[in-house]
Amino acid sequence: MANGFVRYASPADCEAIAKNMRPEDVAEVWASNRHSPLEALTVGYLQSNPPMTIMKNPDIPVGMFGSVPMSFGQPSSAGIWMLGTNEIWDVRFQFLRESRHWLNEVSKEYDLVYNVIDKRNELHIRWLKWLGFHLVREIPDFGPDEIPFIEFVRI
């Protein structure tokens, strides 16, 4: 990224991003399983293979993403995820240009990647479609609050 770059994530990135996480992402991780921003990022960091951080020059973490192995054997699958701050807008054009590359990098070991997304997170839904994900189904009563989430997949 010309105005930023992607690198392997560190535990400090979890704390920095959690403090400034996008309100839509905060709402989503809370609604899905009652995680705080720091809990959600830490779980993603610990379980992803590997976790990656989007940096805004010179040294500001603005997003984290990864894929969490979900099965062993065939077909192999992973839960794909990304959480960020509003500062990702500062590198948005570069982020969009490089999104497909990084999606391919974190999913290359898997036959399919999938997850669910809060139906209210319209910006991320548009981005997922642009990346080639298919919206599989709406789950009307997902999580503790029983709100609509959408399952998505890329094969």
Q: What is the mean pLDDT of residues 48-70?
A: 93
CA 21, CA 27: separation in Å to the nearest integer? 10
Entry pTM = 0.91
- Give the CATH number of the domain where residue 75 resides: 3.40.630
* From 21-30, 72-81, 128-137, the region with the lowest mean pLDDT: 72-81
Answer whether residue 33 is part of any domain.
yes
Q: What is the mean pLDDT of residues 126-146?
A: 95
Residue 3 predicted with pLDDT over 70: yes
Residue 2 predicted with pLDDT over 70: no
Residue pair 84/64 in contact by the 8 Å Cβ criterion = yes
pLDDT of residue 4: 84
Q: Which of 51, 68, 65 is nearest to 10 (CA)?
A: 51
Residues facing 61 on adjacent strands: 55
Answer whether residue 83 is part of any domain.
yes
pLDDT band at residue 129 under the 50/70/90 scheme? very high
Answer whether residue 129 is part of any domain.
no
User: Which domain does 20 fall in, by range?
Assistant: 4-111
pLDDT of residue 12: 97
